[in-house]
Amino acid sequence: MGEITPLHSARPKALEFFAGIGLARMGLEAGGFRVAWANDYEADKKLMYEAQFSNQGDHAFALGDIGLVDVDSLPRDASLAWASSPCTDLSLAGGRAGFAGPQSGTFWHFIRLLEELGDDRPGVAVLENVTGLASSHGGDDLAAAIRAFNALGYSVDVLAIDARRFVPQSRPRLFLVAAVNPPADVPDPNSELRPDWLQWVFGDESLRTHRAPLPALPLPLTEGLGDLVEDMRLDDERWWDTDRTRAFADSLSPFQRERVVSMRRSRGVKYRTAYRRTRNGVAVWEVRPDDISGCLRTARGGSSKQALVRLGNGRMQVRWMTPREYARLMGAGEYDFSSARTNQALFGFGDAVAVPAVSWLTENYLLPLVNGTLADEDQLRLEFHVEAL
């Protein structure tokens, strides 16, 4: 009897740039890839990554600046390269320096390594980032990214996916899917995946783009935060004391205070999330009105941490959200925290991509694209009709 081939060896290999704590890997591997190599420059994230994947086969993790990565250290038989490059310079909070900034500009090292791989570069590459990339410098940064992929022989699709389609967290992100052998273009100007504010990309004749036929996304969630809240006694020391809770309430605007008081008086328990913001030079708290989390952020500094508010039955309690709650809101509820401090974990999850968004993209787009089995538009219509029946 011949030797049995390990199951993971039959999976196409992926390279994971800007790997963070490995949430992209979780989504990619759930969809059928095997991450063979990863890179990130933060030692704390590497510790969390290795704790999570220590029992899931061999992989190489290159700790350090991507600018120092030698192309000879990369596997030459990868089918996919994934990059969740830093978004700092593409956000309003980061000053909008764009791809010329020191953080987001590391994207160019990703492009350099793809170029240096030559004929061995993966047939599919993905860039994931904030939706601010689409408007950074009037769209010039997004166009520059597409042209960089074009110069390496890739056509590019651009998709907008909010994690709220899968988990109760508002987290819109942009995904550039670059393909050496793209599928036939299927114009769909009003698609939820390619909303109106992205259509200029496909109308720019100087850019080589495509639009793959894809199934509809799940409907956005309108509730579910309360289901992900960690069980905790009401006298747990993590709930804020009376003075701190009163200061929280006093900082609310009259409109917000009226809504919070109404929920506090109502029957049953409701959970809401809150961020601290600066309005007219004054630090205030703002509470979301719905059963959905605000976008998790990198928790360095109190203003970026998200608080949880418990309301109902005549009571209001407030505390910081826990690492486990962050993990659940990112679709990684069973993540291994054995090597992580609280703020280290909050930062890692706030700086990551939601697992189910990656797995949806992988199952419906990336793996079929690599395998040459991407459905055409007629097939998708037929599948939709059968499901409707």
Residue 1: band (very low, low, confident or very high) from pLDDT cuts 50, 70, 90 = very low
363 and 306 both lie in a single domain: no
125 occurs within a structural domain: yes
User: Would you place residue 299 in the very low, low, confident or very high pLDDT band (cuts 50, 70, 90)?
Assistant: low
267 vs 189, which has greater pLDDT?
Answer: 267
Q: Does the residue 329 lie in any domain? A: no
Closest residue by Cα to residue 360 from 385, 387, 331 = 331
Is residue 7 pLDDT above 70, yes or no?
A: no
pLDDT of res. 71: 96
Q: Is the pLDDT of residue 228 over 50?
A: yes
Section 272-299 average pLDDT:
90
> 124-130 and 155-162 as β-strands: parallel, antiparallel, unpaired?
unpaired
| 180, 303: one domain | no
Number of structural domains (the chain) is 2
Bridge-based pairing of strands 124-130 and 80-83 is parallel
287 and 192 in one domain? no
Side-chain-side CA neighbours of residue 9 (13 Å): 4
Q: Do 278 and 194 fall within a single domain?
A: no
Residue 189 has a pLDDT of 75
Read off the tokens for 227. Answer: 């289901």
Same domain, 313 and 355: no
Please check whether residues 30 and 101 belong to one and the same domain.
yes
Tell me the average pLDDT across 319-335: 97
Domain assignment present for 196: yes
Highest mean pLDDT among 128-137, 175-184, 379-388: 175-184
Residue with tokens 């000053």: 95
Assess if residue 169 is contained within a domain: yes
How much of the chain exceeds pLDDT 70, in percent? 87
pTM: 0.90
Q: Looking at the domain assignment, is residue 327 inside a domain?
A: no
pLDDT digits (tens, 9 = 90+) for 58-111: 778 999 999 999 999 999 999 999 999 875 544 444 454 444 544 456 889 999
Nearest to 44 by CA among 362, 345, 374, 375: 345
C-alpha 256/C-alpha 6 separation (Å) is: 57
Strand partners, 285: 276
CATH number at residue 186: 3.40.50.150
Q: Which of 231-245, 269-283, 348-362 has the lowest mean pLDDT?
A: 269-283
Q: How far is CA 317 from CA 59, 237, 244, 294, in A?
A: 44, 12, 10, 18
pLDDT above 80 (res 304): no
Same domain for 174 and 286? no
Residues 92, 163: one domain?
A: yes
Q: What is the distance between the terminal CA atoms of the chain, rounded to a whole angstrom?
A: 47
Domain end point (choices 281, 305, 321):
321
- Provide the domain limits for residue 286: 231-321
Q: Is 285 exposed, middle or buried (0-12, 13-18, 19+ CB in 10 A)?
A: buried
Query: How confident is the model over 270-283, as a mean pLDDT?
Result: 89
Q: What is the predicted pLDDT for the residue at 377?
A: 57
Once rounded to an integer, what is the mean pLDDT over residues 247-265? 95
Q: What is the mean pLDDT of residues 332-337?
A: 96
DSSP tag of 209: B
Q: What is the mean pLDDT of the chain?
A: 89
Which pLDDT does position 55 carry in this prediction? Answer: 81
Say yes or no: 164 and 245 in one domain: no
Cα 28 to Cα 22: distance, rounded to the nearest angstrom: 10
Residues 263 and 363 in one domain: no
Is 168 in the same domain as 311?
Answer: no
pLDDT value at 366 more than 60: yes
Is 81 part of a structural domain of the chain? yes
Beta-sheet strand order (sheet of 155-162): 60-63, 34-40, 13-17, 80-83, 124-130, 172-179, 155-162
- Residue 1 maps to a domain: no
On whether residue 179 sits in a domain, the answer given is yes
Cross-strand bridge partners of residue 14: 35, 80
Contact residues for 143 (Cβ-Cβ < 8 A; gap 6+): 201, 204, 206, 207
Domain shared by 14 and 82, yes or no: yes
